[in-house]
Structure 1
Amino acid sequence: MNTAGLAILVRMGNCLCVKERIKVNGRQYYIRERLGEGGFSMVDLVEDASSHKLYALKRITCHAQTDQKVALAEVEYLKALSHPNIVECIDSDLVGMPDLMGNRTSQVLIVLPYCQRGTLHDELMRRQQSGSHLDEVVVLSMFRRICEAVQCMHSAKPHPLAHRDIKTSNILLKDDLTPLLMDLGSVTRARLEINGSSEAHKLQDEAAERSSMPYRPPELFNVEFFCHVDERTDVWSLGCLLYALCFYKSPFDAVYERGDSVALAVVSGITKFPETHPYSEDIVELIKSILKVNPEERPYVDWIINKVDQLINKSSGAV
């Protein structure tokens, strides 16, 4: 064997020897590559050491007990909300204990399905580059499935839940474009009675931390001191997501990217549509009917699903 061939074998051997491993509930995985990261979490592509099946491993670093409580709540919501359009929790584990004084952290590990296609955001960015719009029936079908996942949360017992961070990058896509709602770290009780300035500021701060600006509803930018907030916070986000399904991005993404005031744009309720596009007036009117600044004028997700069904039947020629 020549020197070059031997060197290749040595490098291959070294790769096999140093392949990083991680255990979740005693089950061993090899870490293949980093898929994404942000805040206090990261997602890696991992391979089951026994079955060699690929998964996505989400690792949430917790610096305090409050962080750990939120991360463990995400695991519980994933397990409790069983729906074909909500991402499945394959397995989970807690490693270590957080201690601010001792500068120690814990990690909540969540094994999730791996979707090679990536997120809806990835799909829409690819399509924007090629100028390829999704077909209207495909848009409506995908949107309906996402709404069904949200409906599952809004009808949860003993109390309705709200996702509070619905956006294209929180929708995984299977190879056949089946959407999966993910990242339940922002999930909370949907219906809240706000009584006073401290409760209003608390909710506003939580929204600033957990709800992405281009998809955040107007009532969470400036929370009134005495008000009622319900699951229609998610409905606003669904309206932004339907707009993105048609036109690649939220109607407020451009404002955010320019560095202008998203809050002002959202509260003004002015939604601009491209002058030319391949979609019917029906779908434009649906977006407008969802993006109502006053949450009391906003529909519930059940109404949206019924309306989408009507548009699908109309598009397919059904009476």
Structure 2
Amino acid sequence: MWRFNPFGGKVQNGLEGRTIDVGNIKITVRNAIAQGGFSCVYLASDAMHPSKQYAMKHIICNDSELLDLVMEEIQVMNLLKGHPNVVTLVAHDVFDMGRTKEALLVMEFCEKSLVSAMESRGTGYYEEKKALLILRDVCNAVFAMHGQSPPIAHRDLKAENVLLGLDGAWKLCDFGSTSTNHKCFDRPEEMGIEEDIIRKHTTPAYRAPEMWDLYRREVISEKVDIWALGCLLYRICYFKSAFDGESKLQILNGNYRIPEQPKYSAAVTKLIKDMLEASPNDRPDVTQARALIDWPFISMILGLVSCK
């Protein structure tokens, strides 16, 4: 088995230039393209077919908790493999380094993220149809997750985790925060554990009210993804966050404003408002959300037909 030395916490430049066997493929690691606390994503190419590119995620697991999260991420990606709106896991391997374990996840390469796509547009906001097409692709991935038994909640839906595939489809990535533990947390010790998980593995600006305040005694379920989809649609439409992410009260009170410009249809603004309902029981489920996304297209077609 191919082995490498741990980095002592320094991820940057750790694997660049090396050729590695991961699963049943041999890849050559190129440059680092993204970096986190215990992980780094590299651009890589097939050693036998250099024109074929991959993204390779390298994760240093310093404890069993992080290793469990990585194994769950691999399990979810394998479960969703083949879905056109989910980044494909091509191969994976876990190396035992003694005190640590190091995981390699080889995935399809996506050229840009939704964030970089929006940044490149400056103030050139998306037309309504394009904005809804992006959200529909993400919603299709969420639909596949929520359709599992039990439903899988992504729990970290955000613009940074939406990538543009080489096939032109928008794809969801980063499944390291997923959960099937849908419940109302009553006991203080349970609350403390869940609050720590939420703090570590969710993004404040997309975090649903029931995740901010467990004393609301509301079930934390896959409906947290619907709230995040509302935040995502707001970001796609207006190129800014509905909430600054730092104000707990702002989110708990649903204190956001629909900008006057750019102007979108009442159907789009209603969809944002429906998904950003403070109570999870008042939000649509993902099936209803997909229907609401498709309705503007249906209305447009009906309008064209009636004009003929």
**TM-score bin (small chain):** 0.7 to 0.9
2:45 aligned partner: 47
Runs of 4+ in 1 over 6 A off after TM superposition: none
Q: Give a deviation string over 1:76-122, Cα, whole Å, max 9, x none.
A: 110012321111110000112452xxxxx211110111112x11111
Corresponding pairs, count: 287
Give the structure with the larger helix fraction. 1
Shift of 1:298: 1.2
Tell me if structure 1 keeps the 8 A contact 2:25–2:91. Answer: no
Matched, 1:236 2:237: no
Tell me if structure 2 keeps the 8 A contact 1:62–1:98. Answer: no
Letter aligned with residue 144 of structure 1: R
Structure 2 unpaired stretches of 5+: 1-15
Does the residue aligned with 1:186 lie in a helix, a strand or coil? coil
2:249 aligned partner: 264
Shift of 1:150: 0.5
Does the residue aligned with 1:229 lie in a helix, a strand or coil? coil
Q: Partners in 2 of 1:106 and 1:312 — Cα distance?
A: 49
Shift of 1:318: 5.3
Structure 1 unpaired stretches of 5+: 1-17, 100-104
Does the residue aligned with 1:245 lie in a helix, a strand or coil? helix
1:146 aligned partner: 138
1:194 aligned partner: 185
Shift of 1:235: 0.4
Q: Partners in 1 of 2:17 and 2:157 — Cα distance?
A: 35
Does the residue aligned with 1:309 lie in a helix, a strand or coil? helix
Q: Partners in 1 of 2:286 and 2:90 — Cα distance?
A: 28
Q: Which has the larger radius of gyration?
A: 1
Shift of 1:191: 2.0
Change (3 A) 1:226 1:281: closer
2:62 aligned partner: 63
Q: Partners in 2 of 1:269 and 1:203 — Cα distance?
A: 22
Matched, 1:210 2:201: yes
Does the residue aligned with 1:29 lie in a helix, a strand or coil? strand
Tell me if structure 1 keeps the 8 A contact 2:113–2:164. Answer: yes
Tell me if structure 2 keeps the 8 A contact 1:199–1:225. Answer: no
Q: Give a deviation string over 1:26-52, Cα, whole Å, max 9, x none.
A: 633222211101121110000111011
Shift of 1:265: 1.4
Q: Give a deviation string over 1:247-306, Cα, whole Å, max 9, x none.
A: 123212xx24xxxx3312111201212222132222111101110111121111111111
Q: Partners in 2 of 1:240 and 1:185 — Cα distance?
A: 20
1:3 aligned partner: none
Does the residue aligned with 2:236 lie in a helix, a strand or coil? helix
User: Map of 1:1-319 to 2, 5 A cutoff?
Assistant: 19-25=17-23, 27-52=25-50, 53-82=52-81, 83-97=83-97, 99=99, 105-116=100-111, 118-127=112-121, 129=122, 131-157=123-149, 159-175=150-166, 177-189=168-180, 191-224=182-215, 226-252=217-243, 255-256=244-245, 261-316=246-301, 317=303
Letter aligned with residue 39 of structure 1: G
Q: TM-score, normalised to structure 1's length? A: 0.85
Q: Partners in 1 of 2:60 and 2:126 — Cα distance?
A: 37
Tell me if structure 2 keeps the 8 A contact 1:172–1:179. Answer: yes
Q: Partners in 2 of 1:243 and 1:175 — Cα distance?
A: 25
Tell me if structure 2 keeps the 8 A contact 1:30–1:48. Answer: yes
Q: Give a deviation string over 1:197-256, Cα, whole Å, max 9, x none.
A: 11122212111111101111111111127442221111000000011111123212xx24
Shift of 1:190: 5.3
Change (3 A) 1:44 1:244: same
Q: Give a deviation string over 1:139-178, Cα, whole Å, max 9, x none.
A: 1122112111101111102x11100000000011124641
Q: TM-score, normalised to structure 2's length? A: 0.88
RMSD of aligned alpha carbons: 1.8
